[in-house]
A and B are shown apart, each in its own frame.
Chain A
Amino acid sequence: MNNGWPVKTGPLAAARLVAARDLRLAFRKPSQLIQPLMFFMIVATLFPLTLTPELSRLRDAAPGVLWIGALLSSLLALEFLFRDDAVDGTLEQFALSGQSLTWMLFAKTCTHWLLSGLPLALSAPLAALALGVPVEALGSMVAALALGGFALSMVGAICAGLTLGARRGGVLLSLLTLPLSVPILVFGADATRQAIVGGDIAGPMYLLGAIAVLGVTLAPLAAAAAVRIGLE
């Protein structure tokens, strides 16, 4: 008889459970959430220190600085997407559970973005103002970073899955993710640049959106395949 355990089945239910678990676990280790953010802030600060303190000239470099900082921070955060679960065997349990691994990894990646990419996008205005970005551009910049960060998480999930069984996976993860994130960087930085000069951001935003949609549909499949290979 029903001994009190939830009787829900199906991919969405599994995904929801995975997401809830990830969120709960993440808030027990808040340092893991803060570190990528701090890293982003520090990287953003290094550029004015090494390039020029003049805000008017920094403004030109701002799209690149913000997006490279976001990428590097996201690479750092990707380390803890699968690692803890791979180490304690939870990932294996997911794969063996008979539920859709694709959906579960999709849920994991979404939560990961909620915990790393989204906070970064929301706190980016601080760095942006320090780089001379005008206030009017901040809204579009946050939107672009949020969307781009989501796409980065999707692409990064594939690479994180691939490097599960590899030695020195951290460096390799970066090497694999960087070429695949070039389109995201290019269009994201373009959207931010357009926002700064007051141009039309629709074009690059649509392209970012298209990449995000492509990521959502294909990345979890590839990530699930990669994880299964890594766990064999």
Chain B
Amino acid sequence: MNWTWFHRFGSAPYMYGFARRWAPWFGGAAALLMLIGLYGGLFLAPQDYQQKDAFRIVYVHAPSATLSLMIYTTMAIAAAVGLIWRMKVAHAAAAACAPIGAWFTVATLFTGSLWGKPMWGTYWAWDPRLTSELVLLFLYFGYMGLRAAIEDPQKADKASAVLAIVGIVNVPIIKYSVNWWTSLHQGHTRYLADPDMDRSMLWPLLTLFVAFGLFFGAVLLIRLRAELLRRERNASWVREALS
């Protein structure tokens, strides 16, 4: 099998060009799908039988939550790739993921809180899913803090990579906490096979899942370019790329 296509991803100038070319497409697709999904969710989907219009918060909350977990996983995988194959680009990608993931964790916590008040009567509860999502935010901060505290960039890359990998245990805890414990938070929702949601409510949500994912891709590619520029200090390709 010809692996050269894979190794190209390890080259900083290649990835810089790749990111520059593809970010606008990811961004454009994300914007389009977001508009469609939001229109469907806010205008077309009917009221929920129990929650009436409050259920519409799902259209921001669920994609944010999924993103907070997916970004951490991406970060951990990139970190592992960077450690095992010693790829600077992978470490750069991991660094780029962290702030995005942290923001979406914040979004998840706040939108969840705003949904909790009308539904459960409280802005916050120390139940397993909410608590472990909060822990996820602390893990993101710890990752970024560790990076900032270590002077040598290579050491910072490697040490934060170990931390990201160790912290991955939190992700399955968040995801399965609603199955393992009786929780205030809603239980497992089936989206695809035999869905738990009415179709008219479901399609905007699935659209928004994809839209948010594409948005993450776009922002990641932009931040990746910044990270690559910061790391490749005196490389000749930088000169060309910036002219």
Contact = CB atoms under 8 A, between A and B. Distances in A.
B166 A172 contact: no
Interface in B93-152: 131-132, 135, 138-139, 141-142, 145-146, 149-152
A166 to B, nearest CB: 4
Nearest to A179: B138
A143 to B, nearest CB: 23
Interface residues of B, number: 24
B162 A226 contact: yes
A163 interface: yes
A165 B153 CA distance: 11
A33 to B, nearest CB: 28
Interface string A10-53: 00000000000000000000000000000000000000000000
Contact of B146 (A162, A180, A186, A232): A162
B158 A175 contact: no
A172 B152 contact: no
B155 A229 contact: yes
Interface residues of A, number: 24
Given A226-B159, A226-B162, A183 B149 contact: no
B163 interface: yes
Given A179-B135, A230-B159, 9 more contacts: A162-B162, A163-B149, A165-B150, A165-B151, A167-B149, A175-B141, A182-B135, A186-B131, A226-B162
Interface of B: 131-132, 135, 138-139, 141-142, 145-146, 149-152, 154-155, 158-159, 162-163, 165-167, 170, 173
Which 5 A-B residue pairings sit nearest by Cβ, starting from the closest? A179-B138, A166-B149, A229-B158, A176-B142, A179-B135
Interface of A: 158-159, 162-163, 165-169, 172, 175-176, 178-180, 182-183, 186, 222, 225-226, 229-230, 232
17 contacts: A158-B162, A158-B166, A159-B163, A162-B146, A162-B159, A163-B146, A163-B149, A165-B155, A166-B149, A166-B159, A172-B146, A175-B138, A175-B142, A180-B166, A180-B167, A229-B155, A229-B162
